[in-house]
Amino acid sequence: MLKLETIDAGYGATTILHDVSLDVNAGEVVTIVGANGAGKTTTLRTIAGLIRPTSGRILFEGRDITRLSAHETVDLGITLIPEGRQLFPEMTVHENLLMGAYRSAAREKQADTLEEVLTLFPRVRERLDQNAASLSGGEQQMVAIARGMMARPKLLMFDEPSLGLAPIIVAQVFAVIDTIVKTGATVLIVEQNVFHTLKAADRGYVLENGEIVLTDSGKALLANDHVRQAYLGI
């Protein structure tokens, strides 16, 4: 579904990603793990069209999307749920959710999608009229995920969904991601919570200093000595 071929990307004259190649197949959960500053967010932003690669190619469903803008990638069905949620704080939950449905294919089905999404997130339904700023961190993350789903994406990318959340809420976030996968979506997830993500993922890539140094099944990476020492503290 998604293929990165030897991508170099960065900010201005600074190259952050070096020769990054990765694949995400339809229906898979794939994760990119790595330390702070390894380039995980940069990878997702590059796929989403927010950063233009300086070399390499990105293919989505066989089509070259390397030079597409962020709104064009959204139109194709790629949605990024950014780190830190980035809700509109003064808008209600309901208004925030509708902002997610701007993709043309999603706009037509907005009412149906909203109902489907609220069925998945009963807590969000209870808070539809509340301002986003008044929600707890965990609730904000649920709204951010729900808003991402309003675009009816084919590929849903999560940037650090568990950041700053209490362990019990982290478990809920991963349970929701599991449910989303069961609806047929494809998921690419970036996390520092390596244990949870590798458990949830079919496959994973380890990114260090902007380079992919290791790839394997989630299960094999959990058992890998380097991963255990560097990321799991075992």
Stretch that binds ligand ATP, among 40-48, 68-76, 115-123, 216-224 (CB under 6 A): 40-48
Report d(CA 206, CA 215) in Å as an integer.
Answer: 6
Report d(CA 125, CA 81) in Å as an integer.
Answer: 19
Verify binding: residue 11, ligand ATP, rule CB under 6 A. yes
Measure the N-to-C terminal CA separation of the chain; round to a whole number of Å.
34
Site for ligand ATP (CB under 6 A): which residue of 2, 7, 9, 38?
A: 38
CB 41 within 8 A of CB 190: yes
Among the listed residues 149, 160, 146, the one whose alpha carbon sits nearest the alpha carbon of residue 41: 160
Verify binding: residue 34, ligand ATP, rule CB under 6 A. yes
CB 148 within 8 A of CB 172: no
Of 28 and 83, CB closest to ligand ATP: 83
The nearest distance, CB 130 to ligand ATP, in angstroms, is: 29
Of 16 and 132, CB closest to ligand ATP: 16
Residue 195 burial class via C-beta count within 10 angstroms: exposed 0-12, middle 13-18, buried 19 and up: middle
Site for ligand ATP (CB under 6 A): which residue of 4, 9, 22, 39?
A: 39
* Footprint on residues 160-199 left by ligand ATP (CB under 6 A): 192
Verify binding: residue 96, ligand ATP, rule CB under 6 A. no
Q: What is the dihedral of CA 139, 145, 151, 153, to 10 degrees?
A: -170
Of 95 and 211, CB closest to ligand ATP: 211
Stretch that binds ligand ATP, among 10-18, 140-148, 211-219, 220-228 (CB under 6 A): 10-18
Verify binding: residue 40, ligand ATP, rule CB under 6 A. yes
The nearest distance, CB 143 to ligand ATP, in angstroms, is: 21
CB 132 within 8 A of CB 91: yes
Interface with ligand ATP (CB under 6 A), residue total: 12
Q: What is the DSSP letter of 130?
A: S
* Footprint on residues 42-71 left by ligand ATP (CB under 6 A): 42
Q: Rounded to 5 degrees, what are φ and ψ at 221?
A: -65, -35
Of 14 and 119, CB closest to ligand ATP: 14
Site for ligand ATP (CB under 6 A): which residue of 13, 36, 111, 168?
A: 36
Alpha helices for 48-150 (secondary structure H): 70-76, 93-99, 104-107, 110-120, 122-126, 137-149
The nearest distance, CB 32 to ligand ATP, in angstroms, is: 8
Q: What residue ranges bind ligand ATP (CB under 6 A)?
A: 11, 14, 16, 34, 36-42, 192
